[in-house]
């Protein structure tokens, strides 16, 4: 099982959530108005100087679905030309 964390520009919220829905992701945690800066992007601080913000979606994915979910997110990332979205994953050992 893996934990996936997807950080993306709010302008792409619909595409990200539709992608997860197509992958049959039923459970997730979502944060909105997440502020920050990537190594190759302008800050997103939701203020007059640095407008905009990000969203974060985090979900545990069963082993048999890992490739499908990662592949779908990778395709979306490519459609965005490698900008506006980062995907992180790491092993998920236990869930209560």
Q: Taken in order 76, 81, 86, 92, is the CA torsion positive or negative?
A: positive
Residue 74 is predicted with a pLDDT of 97
Percent of the chain with pLDDT over 70: 100
Torsion of CA 25, 32, 35, 29, to 10 degrees: -40
CATH number belonging to domain 2-91: 3.30.70.120
Which residues, including other chains, have CB under 8 Å from residue 74's CB and lie 6 or more apart? 87
Cα–Cα distance for residue pair 56/31, rounded to 1 Å: 5
Per-residue pLDDT of 41-77, as tens digits, reads 899 999 999 999 999 999 999 999 999 999 999 999 9
The pLDDT assigned to 30 comes to 99
Helix (H, G, I), strand (E, B), or coil: what is residue 45?
coil
């Amino acid at each position: 099982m893996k934990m996936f964390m997807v950080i993306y520009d709010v302008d792409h919220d619909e595409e990200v959530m539709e992608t997860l829905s197509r992958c049959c992701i039923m459970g997730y945690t979502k944060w909105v108005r997440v502020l920050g800066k990537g190594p190759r992007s302008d800050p997103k601080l939701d203020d007059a100087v640095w407008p905009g913000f990000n969203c974060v979606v985090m979900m545990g994915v069963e082993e048999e679905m890992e490739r499908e979910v990662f592949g779908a997110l990778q395709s979306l990332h490519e459609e965005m030309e490698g900008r506006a979205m980062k995907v992180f994953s790491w092993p998920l050992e236990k869930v209560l």
